[in-house]
Structure 1
Amino acid sequence: MEIRVLGGLSVQLSTRALHLGTPKQQAIFAMLTVQPGRLVTVDDLVDELWADRPPRSAIANVQTYAANLRRAFEACPTGRGVIERQRNGYRLVVDPERVDVFRFEMERNAGREAVSAGDLDGARQLLERAVARWRGPMLAGIPLGPALTSRTVAAEEERLLTVELLADVQLRSARDDLAIPLLRDVVARHPLRESAYLLLMRALFERGDNAEALATYDEIRTRLVTELGVGPGNNLQDLHRSIVTSVSHAGGVGPGRSAAVTAGVQGGATPGETGRTAPVDHLPRAVTDFVGREEVVSRLLAETRRVEERVPAVHIIDGMAGSGKTTLAVHVARRLSDRYPDAALFLDLGGHGEKRQMEPASALVVLLRQLGVPAERVPVELDARVELWRHELAGRRSVVVLDNAASSEQVMPLLPAEPSAVVLVTSRRRLSHPEVGPSRTLPLLSPQESVDLLGLSVGRDRVEAEPEAAFEVVRRCGHLPLAIRLAGARLAHRRGWRTLSNK
């Protein structure tokens, strides 16, 4: 029997491929497959299939799915006893070596040991075999809940680390012609991955392509600044300086390893250092036309002061699109900056809209980088990232805005553990969790607040000259700040329009 999860889920028995049934049935088998030999409880399976609102029939459905899988396996002689039922769950009884992701891990670990022993040829063969097992994303096509999502994210990170180790082995064997295509593929698919850019710069420089090496640095620097609001890590900066220095001293450097490049690769922050030298501010620019909301702002500030010495202050603000949730959160964060001066962080979680929803593991990478943690210090495992994030926050007075959240499950790993931080979460959904309390729904602007906001765009004199028309404009905008700003911008650029004519 061979079980594959790398590139999709499939089971090859001695005579045929096994049909695994419906998507939810496949998800149950995937949960058993990534934990061979371990008991997976019915509760775990329910949480995986229905993370938010399990139906009343959830337990019965899980039992039905599992029974179907057991019958499918037992219909083939080599599949009997593969899924074992226990009192409160199920167990996959197979040797982990029959599952491709575990064979990948064995070969990767053996490759690392070969590198440590100085056996570069042996390491290259093992790592190439491990990388070749990936035929596509892990569990592609399977509906993933929280546990499987975390497992696939960790596995993908291990794949990338293995590819980078293979590229490093090839470079140490003077095979930059093999390393460069591997690394170009990684940075194309993961355009913010600094460790891959570091190796690619090194490979290009050692090949003698100085201009391309420096252009590669400019590319990752621009991406990091534009998309994350942070600069390259210490290792990238050190390597860039080494290349510039070598090129300027030699008038252009040909192929061959240089001591400067090696120093650049190995430099950077030592374990325990965060690279933080000054307060950091990643909040968006505050709007200049913030109007009203005095009661809401006062309540949030008062609630923060009430709990900040005992627990982290966490405020969840929900409301419809365009109601001003993000503007309010940033405004309150700015008001708190004197009390929380060390760090002001902002992250769009992509819960709603065109952007892809950000998984907690990815969100933690961005937040840690905003704090100045070097990319090479960010752990692979989600739990380790959470621990590092909370450790970093514990030493700072920080305010964090988590914008556009999709669910409580997305937010919980991002919350601090110590009362040194305040977090403002915005969402279109009404989120709630026992550890953070209820969500607060942001009301619409009052009619007068709406007109005052319109007046900031089109001019107070113009609004006062046509008060009834102004109230009608904001009424038709639904008293939503975003709609009022858009309408005001149109009217401001058309001075010949009356307030409502040609609307």
Structure 2
Amino acid sequence: MQFRLLGAMEIFAAGRRIPIGSRKERLVLAVLLLEANRWVPIGRLVELAWTEEVPESARRTVQSLISRLRARLRMIDQALNIEREGACYRLTVDRASVDVHRFRDLLAAARDADDNTAAALYSEALSLWRGDGLTHEVAAEHLREELAELRLRAIEDQMDAELRLGRHRSVVGRLSALASAYPYRQRITGQLMLALHREGRSDEALECYRRMKNRLMEEVGLDPAEELIQLELAILRADPSLVAQPSSLDLAGVASLPPMQLPADIVSFSGREEHVKHLDALLPDDGAPPVATLVAIAGTAGIGKTTLAVHWAHRVRDRFPDGQLYVNLRGYGLANTVEAADALRGFLDALHVPSQQIPTDTDQAAAQFRSVLAHRRVLILLDNARDAEQVRPLLPGGGRCLVIVTSRRQMSGLVATEGARLLRLALFTTHEAYELLARRIDRERLQADPAAVEALITACGRLPLALAIAAARSAVQHEFPLRAIADQLKAGLAAFDCGDAATCLRTVFSWSYGALSEPAARLFRMLSLYPGAHFTPAAAASLTGARLQDAQAQLAELADMHLIDEYRPGRFTVHDLLRTYATELAEAVDPSVDRRAAARRALEHYLHSAHDAAQLLSPHRDPIVLPPVLPGVHLEPFADHDEALSWFMAQHDALLAAVHLAIKLALDAHVWQLAWSLADYLDRQGHWKDQLSCQRLAVEAAERSGHPLGRAAAFRNLARAHLRLTQYDDAHHHYSAALDVYAAEHDVVGQAHTYGNLSAVHVLQEDHHAALHCALQSLQLFERAGHRAGMARALNATGWYQLHLGDYDLAIDSCTRALELHLEIDDRHGQANTYDSLGLAHRYLGNYAEATACYQRSIDLYRCLGDRYNEADTLTHLGENLLASGDRSGADQVWRSALRILEDLGHPDAAKLRRRPPLSGGSQ
């Protein structure tokens, strides 16, 4: 068991974090742990648990909390028990299992030890702190202040020991940070002055003294302590006593000083809080080995792998008293890759193995490395690894060391064979991106133009390296408005070149691209031609014309290099800046004829896949005839309606972009055919504005290509979007235009469909007689053509208008005949429409239970079909029926469900629904 109070309160059992319960339970437990093995009066528990006015029930509350805690602790460990004697309680635990007591015990041991041992003990004690203060669960401020002061004194004692050992070089950086954090701690200032003086930086040491003296005089009216005054004089005189004496250097130990090879920490590190917590969890306590001995941090170029690894390594380095080893393996970059043998030689030399004893054979050197580390606790950072094979010889054999590997590859081999914990880095969130900029750009400058900051973040695609470059550019061009800098970055990758290969995006990307096989490299270039942000293996194979299994292997290679991201099984995306890089490559490498052929195949993939999906969404819709699929084009396999709808939703943006790609390629037939294939999906999901723009393009394209029936279909779909948006005059105009085209082409079925559409416009304009007339004309034309699906829809429409004209018996007869036809041909959308009509008929006849059953059946069908607008519309009808039956509460509930959908769709009917009396008095 491990109880942690030095930071956020945590309990660990067998390396697993245990939930503790309510805040008050954690608070009482924290007090009992602070007083471990001692009797605590209930009054003191109350005193330490409440900062606010203590309620009269406080004692009873504490008794109840202890009862619950006792049960919780026994579930974790039967030996754990909270005892009671009179009005006192005691929790008996091993002091070493409570970090506060272990901290105090280590400090006590350090005070009686020699400097070498003391330095290690102080380091071990301070590593127990996971924040600057005692857990916030403890309400008593004086306890938190007492422990915070004890921690600070321990740091000062540790620094004294390190300075006595002559380790001023290794502590000067930490002392500088401490002096900034605690500007009034004169002891720390004195330690920093001594370390700087020994480093030959006496001017800086004296400046530290002057700053402290001025600060004390101006703010508290005091002179520095006598010890600090004497230290300044000694530095001015270059007093020999300030030089570290050979006797204090522990010369026998200098030869075995642990390696401290970590690169400098990033002062402006920000973001990655969850990842840091995940890494922290690998080190449950200082006395046990790490939970995982190997961590692989993977991600695309510029995502911040090294930054995170170095920052966290500095954060936990005190837990590895035998040192830290670092090597840049240069798996990707301009320089030659570091071979395992060279890295091993460097590590063994840092661990003080005589050079003549280091084997030249890689396997023998690896074995010696494992032997040297067998009983040591070392942190090893293997940066920028090429692959698992480069890493394996550098892994220790024991469980006391921790290895961090960073790589652009996913390192699945290390996960599979070495049990590595994989930590994949994603793009920054918008908040993290803002914080990175705020740490490097004046916040006032950011706050002055939030829109420009948003544009800056968008231009960088939330990629950490790109954001860092943007921040650097804004610092250099401080007089430029942020908006101008954002516009520069939008112009292309050239704007992300700072003149340094290590931070030039195009160069950094090229290191990943250069490691690809030729087929994968070609696919990466072709992805720049893809008309959307998300793609599937079938779409990728269509781009290159490759076999599907070959494309899948190439996608796996790109994903392994983090040049694309498989965000769901079989669903991929590519970052905008990487896509820009791919565009540059394609234009430089691939002939225009090849690029056009690839774009054409991608368009064919979308057109034929969308047509197949549309047929599954509306199996009784009259299909259009497409040309044969081009060679090399692969289609999406859809098993059923749900898969088709899911694909439409995932590819929504790409499909709309494909319409524009077809226009760019002057493939007008593809434009109106794609628009036709999208029409039912866009309508049912409420994307009516997308429908408007899409179908307008389709009307123009069908006219250019001389395809009158395609133009008529686009007119009808355009009119349907206007109808959904309650723009009835526009809807009537476009339906009439479609009717004229169908009549000129002698298309009976087209005319029948359009008369049915016009009837819907008339009824919304409250002209039920005109609506019934159009419905009957539609029915007559469908009967002449023998079109059973059309007959069913026309019969349902006829029944609906008969209802509104008061002919209830005729209406039920028409709707019943419609339902029978819809059931025969298994038209679920038609069934849903007809059940809605029958629901209204039963409501008018006062058969509220039958009406509710019909409405519910209609709603279930619409929901399965993904028709959100009609689901909301029928919910509204159900609410009217429930209200008429006297169930006001039920009506209010279903209307709220309908309102949520309509608001999500941005439909004008939402405003009408809000005005209904049951909704007007409640919260929305």
Which structure ranks higher in relative contact order (CA pairs < 8 Å, sequence separation ≥ 6)? 1
TM-score scaled by length of structure 1: 0.46
Structure with greater helix percent: 2
